[in-house]
Amino acid sequence: MPVAIEIAPGVRCYPGYLDRAGQEALRDEIGAVLAAAPPFAPRMPRTGKPFSVRMSNCGPLGWVSDEMGYRYQATHPETGTPWPPAPARLKAVWAALAPGAPPPEACLINLYDATARMGLHQDRDEAELSAPVVSLSLGDTALFRVGGLNRGGPTRSFRLASGDAMTLGGPGRLAFHGVERVYPGSSTLLAEGGRINLTMRRVTKG
């Protein structure tokens, strides 16, 4: 297993966790997921303003956002069909990076183009906060920003490249984090460019 770099307490990065062959295999599996659960544009609660990131999900539950708020649900918000199963490859990554945690129930698939951003936020819509958030990056490199438990606290930025994994657990489970920018053309993994971020979460109490 690649060596973990602790960015902040409980926030660990695993550079090069997936080799090129693993990235290509996972890319193709996620492509099949997106064919069954087409990407949609989540919207901000109350205002209805669309995110700059498009998304989908796989697993028993999926995260959605619209005028009614943030939530997890078992069906796609536009097609009404259940989310596709998560690839076994993703479950294996969870087992390796979140040993002892109950199995993940949702994998968010965030799709970034060259202009997409993700503002500082906490992942706190889950009932089970003892399990970490486990993420994988595919495609173009992103400049990721992480802070502490308070929005106005100091932050640190670092790059996440294709194949890198990251976990937010323990004291870092509720750390504020976001994506400042994506570097177009920094990876050849995705034919059309852009970045895919896969974020696995346990939602209910395990």
Residues 6+ apart with CB under 8 A from 124: 174
Q: Are 43 and 70 in contact (CB under 8 A)?
A: no
Specify the amino acid at residue 26: L
Mean pLDDT of 91-110: 97
Nearest-angstrom CA–CA distance, 56 and 173: 22
Of the pLDDT bands very low, low, confident and very high (cuts 50, 70, 90), residue 1 is: low
pLDDT digits (tens, 9 = 90+) for 153-162: 899 999 999 9
Q: What is the mean pLDDT of residues 170-196?
A: 97
Kindly state the percentage of the chain with pLDDT values over 90: 96
Confidence category of residue 183, pLDDT binned at 50, 70, 90: very high
Residue ranges per domain, the chain? 5-201
Mean pLDDT of all residues in 169-173:
96
Q: What pLDDT is recorded for position 206?
A: 77
Residues in contact with 84: Cβ distance below 8 Å, sequence separation at least 6, in sequence order = 32, 33, 36, 37, 58
pLDDT at 152 over 90: no
Measured over the CA atoms of residue 136, residue 142, residue 143 and residue 147, the dihedral's sign is negative
pLDDT tens, residue by residue, 26-66: 999 999 999 999 999 999 998 999 999 999 999 999 999 99
β partners of residue 179: 118, 144
pLDDT of 2 over the 80 cut:
no
One DSSP character per residue, 141-185 reads: -EEEEE--SSTTS--EEEEE-TT-EEEE-GGGTT--EEEEEE-TT
- CATH architecture classification, 5-201: Sandwich (2.60)
Mean pLDDT, rounded, for 121-147: 97
Chain-centroid distance, C-alpha 85 = 16
How far apart are alpha carbons 193 and 61 in whole angstroms? 28
Identify the pLDDT of residue 10. 96
Beta bridge partners of 158: 144
Q: What are phi and psi of 40, to 5 degrees?
A: -135, 165
> What proportions of the chain, in percent to the nearest 5, are helix, strand and coil?
15, 35, 50
Give residue 169's pLDDT.
97
Stretch 78-100: mean pLDDT = 97
CA atoms within 13 Å, Cβ hemisphere of 29? 18
